Structure 1
Amino acid sequence: MEDPEATPSAQLAERLGVVVDPELLDLALTHRSFAFEHGGIGHNERLEFLGDSILGQATTVMLYRAHPKLDEGQLAKRRAALVSTVALAEIARGIGLGAYLHLGRGEHLTGGHDKDSILADTLEAVIGATYLSAGPDVATDLVLRLIEPLRDQADRFGAAMDPKTSLQERATALGATAPVYAVTGTGPDHDRVYEATVTVTRRGDVLTRTTGSGTSKKHAEMAAALDAWTRLGALDAGV
């Protein structure tokens, strides 16, 4: 159980099961927007750079050992999915990382505590801080504890990275025609919301028709495609 009297950074370290220098961990949690508003103090981008390298190496070794029959291309695809912004943000939410972030007022007001990019970058910075404080073995162990539960879900994160391509590939595998998108927009130009519908058919029958929304046509199509990809996954076994 977390010590309620501990500092936020100490609570996070306890949650992660690591011992990290408090100043380094606090730096890892500091977004550049906060640093700018407080006189140009240090922020987490250098630690993010370090953590990204450690994350990539640990994930590469894990996949190499876990999948001896996969070729280089397949391993690379799985690694890209597991270290993607989407995957890291999901991990960050799972450990409640957003509650510990130091953000500038603008980022705070626009929901920065739950933005995929900020969460993913901060998680990498925390890994970097762990490396500097506790050494490579502890940092690698932390990466594996965070990443391994998602190891067999690489396809899901790969689809989230490029849902339209993933949907096209799944439709082709099912013998279906290319997905067809229809997009509409509502609201004023400065606050427009788009809704996309994607339809996948095979021999004249609709396999799936899903919708997605977003602040741009691209994001709406991506949301619809990811939903369609997920729904079509249940059909793979019957092909």
Structure 2
Amino acid sequence: MTARRLALVTGAAQGIGAAVVRALAHEGLRVAATDLNAGDLRDLVTGLTAAGHDVHGLVLDVRDTTAVHRAVREVEDSLGPIDVLVNVAGILRVGPVLETTDADWAAVFDVNATGVFRLSRAVARCMVGRRRGAIVTVASNAAGVPRMDLGAYAASKAAAVHFTRCLGLELAGSGIRCNVVSPGSTDTPMQRGMWTRDTDAAAVVAGRPEAFKVGIPLGRIADAEDVAAAVVFLASDAARHITMHDLYVDGGATLGA
């Protein structure tokens, strides 16, 4: 009997990360779900385990290189070889560049870019010897299209995108695929944290000409499950000949840029 594939997911406690964990579990994968938010992570794992899925929770701070290596080693020793890594962990700092502090810039990059580097490096080192594996980084369409008040976030996501594609080039000869999913506005706690009025969701769909922001042609904000579906595809054998690709899931908000 062939062992089921094992996925490690960061930023798994809520939003897109939690949707990715659910989607992978429903596809029959075993999942090691990691996050710094122990409470929400425990609730997610408890619910999925009760439903019969093989999901394990592990508290992890992606800013800590030692903790990252320890977590990857623990997962490989206790659950088996990691077949899929999904980098979802991310934080947001909003504001004009001229008001962005060094601390804000460093904090955003430490999670959104360097965190992706730390996890990908640690897991890829395990995958290379097995000559198989898939790495998917969840970035943002802001990585490819300038956004006002998102300078640090957009730059960090752009770094994560290009790092993942460079990694894909280096690892292609070892049979390891590295791809990116770039969501647009998605109904998550991070997105809702930027809203201050009941009409903000409609404004996101309509666009903001004064901020040079196009609306969403498909007329809706994405659900986290829309993004998770793209991740599942790129992590699957159905995408076996796709690597170094950046798949936008934004309802056309970047006009295919």
For normalisation by structure 1, the TM-score amounts to: 0.25
For normalisation by structure 2, the TM-score amounts to: 0.24
Larger radius of gyration: 1
More helix by share: 1
